[in-house]
A and B are shown apart, each in its own frame.
Chain A
């Protein structure tokens, strides 16, 4: 299961990054809070494939499918 599959209102823990994600960007996502072991909540999942909103601690980020599908959940 990837972050993109997480339903609105659900929470899950980050497990790993997909192989297609560049090294630099893995570090950046980790620095933003999307690092293995961290709990992420999906706060909004609009229809029509629009980017979804994820909460990491007290910050909300919008991620589209190109990156959310590369974050694997435990």
Chain B
């Protein structure tokens, strides 16, 4: 099988091209450095050809460990006899920068005798602004094929595919007469080529600057940032609410239809308590995860997130971080795992390490079911200020802010008390152009994320739910939960959670959630299902309200879940990224102690206020 390398500068649209050519769904976003590992996929138009998408790099001369890995892999690829061609993607709207890198790639390909094709991407953007560039002139000057393409609309992809197949069938050594090894000569060549053959005029950059003057304005920029972030969190409730109601009603209807048809006893109780009570309680929250991923994706695709990074840079610097930490931290609001990968875009090793400390405290989507459940149980669903602000939405913003503040406090303290990896890199961030988000990939990404969440978390939740149900149902067949095996075990650990007003059922749910946070909801659903017998088909929030849990305990639970690092996958990815168990182990222990102490203080304070 032949191989084709896709390489280009960050945010040149390389991954979108890879997705178009392979039909795969590699994450794309309008922010430099989203691709963090080499992906490969079979070419849709040529099943004997494997396309490899390399992380975007600004230069073949590296300044960070991550760039070094990518560039070494690129050179290894050039040495691979199976590699038949290299596609270098350049953004035509920022041609000079792309050409500096393209000239380096041409140089390397000539050295290794590999044919190279320049894919001049974003032709749709030029078309939409009635701009053009001289593709054939550039091709003649570079002495390599140049194809004008739009990875978004698909323009020019057939021609690109033909060139890929041509190089596979007739491998030819590549020779170029334009090669220069001196940096200043390469730069001058790129400048002259861009001026001679690139698009003319300042239309694009002027439009971008106008928007930047609003979104980065000292006052309007800060205000719009806060409004956008508030809308992000409010949308989790308002946009997802109809779908959540629909899922809940469907589950209730399915349970009301199915359970009476089953033989009474263990089977019926299992389906009712473990399946509908446990797994069903978790499924209700999946629409919120879909909405959250969709809205974060919209912000990424629009180009706004890079502006948000600029807005946040100065404040984040106070906490020992950088504006570049904002993107992984916001990704952490969806899930800590991609956030840890996204932290590779933080080029300073020290700031990246500090970003790792903050990410597990970001309010991830796995916390969302727990937060939603507790807020629904303890915060009224009414609106304030003439219906403008919902109390539940406000509570959600509050608990999200709490997690973020905790993360920032941790990095502020550690950055001032720990001198590890003091070598630093300055803040330079390319501003991507503003774009209207492309709905189809965004919806697909949100759907895949939700599906992945259900299938990944679902397996753990199902296993835990079955174990919890068996332990809670036997030996007395669900007649007295407190006397079941689980009840006896729970009462043994009850003193651990009693200081913040929780009985043994909540203690069992917390312990089970150390596998994954969302297991808490499923476990509680199962336990209340067993306890409630025939009356279990009511929402879990109502069960919590009816259980007489003190309000201080509810808030203590919220605080506990916003701090504790209850995610095996996060620990495993942290280990992989840092090549050591040291940091994951330190974070797990310290955040568990921090969570327990903060929950106890919360319980004492809230109960004192409530009294």
Contact = CB atoms under 8 A, between A and B. Distances in A.
Interface string A31-71: 11101000000011011111101011111111110110010
A31 B183 contact: yes
Given A28-B58, A44-B209, A49-B314, A61 B429 contact: yes
A70 B428 CA distance: 12
Contact of B63 (A24, A46, A48, A57): A24
Contact of A32 (B198, B425, B428): B428
Given A28-B63, A46-B217, A62 B428 contact: yes
A51 B187 contact: no
Given A35-B187, A59-B97, A25 B216 contact: no
A46 to B, nearest CB: 5
B221 A61 contact: no
Contacts of A24: 61, 63
A5 B61 CA distance: 30
Contact of A53 (B58, B97, B212, B426): B212
A74 interface: no
B216 A27 contact: no
A27 B187 CA distance: 11
Contact of B431 (A62, A64, A66): A62
A57 B194 contact: yes
Given A61-B431, A64-B427, A31 B96 contact: no
Interface string B427-463: 1111100000000000000000000000000000000
Contacts of A7: none
A44 B212 contact: yes
A48 B218 contact: yes
Interface of chain A: mostly helix, strand, loop or mixed: mixed
Contact of B314 (A32, A44, A48, A57): A48
A67 B59 CA distance: 19
In this complex, which of A25, A44, A62, A66 has the most chain B Cβ atoms within 10 angstroms of its Cβ?
Answer: A62
B208 interface: yes
Interface in B85-113: 93-97, 100-101
B417 interface: no
Contact of B430 (A47, A61, A67): A61
B543 interface: no
B340 interface: no
A1 interface: no
A15 to B, nearest CB: 15
Contact of A60 (B100, B184, B209, B309): B209
A65 to B, nearest CB: 9
A58 B427 contact: no
Nearest to A27: B61
Nearest to A49: B314
A35 B313 CA distance: 25
B133 to A, nearest CB: 12
Contacts of B61: 24, 27-28, 31
A32 B428 CA distance: 10
B216 A33 contact: no
Contacts of A51: 310, 313-314, 323, 427, 429
B516 to A, nearest CB: 37
Nearest to A57: B96
B216 A28 contact: no
A53 B63 CA distance: 23
A48 to B, nearest CB: 6
B545 interface: no
Given A51-B313, A60-B212, A67 B427 contact: yes
Nearest to A66: B426
A74 B410 CA distance: 43
Nearest to B432: A60
Interface string B176-190: 000000011001000
B428 A58 contact: no
B223 interface: no
Nearest to B424: A66
B201 to A, nearest CB: 10
Given A28-B428, A43-B212, A51-B313, 17 more contacts: A27-B61, A27-B63, A33-B97, A35-B184, A44-B213, A46-B221, A50-B310, A51-B314, A53-B431, A58-B204, A60-B431, A61-B431, A62-B429, A64-B314, A64-B426, A67-B428, A70-B426
Interface of B: 58-59, 61, 63, 93-97, 100-101, 183-184, 187, 191, 194, 198, 204-205, 208-209, 212-213, 216-218, 221, 306, 309-311, 313-314, 317, 323, 425-431
14 contacts: A25-B425, A31-B59, A35-B187, A50-B313, A50-B314, A53-B216, A57-B191, A58-B205, A61-B431, A62-B323, A62-B427, A62-B429, A64-B314, A66-B426
